[in-house]
Amino acid sequence: MKEGLKFDKKSLKTVQGKTTDFDELAKDCVAFANTEGGHIAIGIEDSEEEPASEQIIPEGLRELIIKRIGERTINVATNATIVKSPNGGEYIDLEVFKSLASFAATTKGSYYYRDNDESKPIPPDELLRAITDKPSFSWETKVSTKKLF
């Protein structure tokens, strides 16, 4: 699957070992939450379509990822599942839900949005407008409870 507005891939090294970078992962989660939501495939390298065939997700890693994201973000909801690829390798599908009424941020006070396959910071001059527009009612998503017939 190609990386884009609703999908990204991260190496397993992002969440385990000496190159762990949960702050980078948190940034991407904030960006997805502030845009349309999306999925991050943790354990698939950028240049690959599947995880390595011998890759097994260690016990407890899924829970650790959810915990670390929760510690580094505000108003971000996630769910993580372990997926077995057709080649036998495993990866974690981290689903980031769209934040409908509130604005997501890192605990360091940074705000991001998703632009195609990049997570970009929201400039300070745009932040107030973005926060003001977020809770406004979206008429096109309203579901009518009236019977038509």
Higher-pLDDT residue of 129, 5? 5
Percent of the chain beyond pLDDT 70? 88
> In the structure, what pLDDT confidence band is assigned to residue 140 with cuts at 50, 70 and 90?
very low
Q: What is the pTM of this model?
A: 0.85
Distance CA 99, CA 96 (A): 9
Percent of the chain beyond pLDDT 90? 71
> In the structure, what pLDDT confidence band is assigned to residue 7 with cuts at 50, 70 and 90?
very high
Across the chain, what does the average pLDDT equal? 88
Nearest one of 129, 121, 128, 126 to 105, comparing CA atoms? 121
pLDDT over 60 (residue 88): yes
Distance CA 55, CA 14 (A): 15
List the helix and strand counts (H, then E) for the chain: 3, 8
Which are the contacts of 81, defined by CB distance < 8 A and separation ≥ 6? 62, 92, 93, 95
Distance CA 121, CA 11 (A): 22
Inter-residue contact 41 to 9 (CB < 8 Å): yes
For residue 129, the model assigns a pLDDT of 76
pLDDT over 50 (residue 61): yes
Q: Can you list the domains of the chain with their CATH numbers?
A: 7-141 (3.30.950.30)
Nearest one of 82, 22, 94 to 56, comparing CA atoms? 82
pLDDT over 60 (residue 146): no
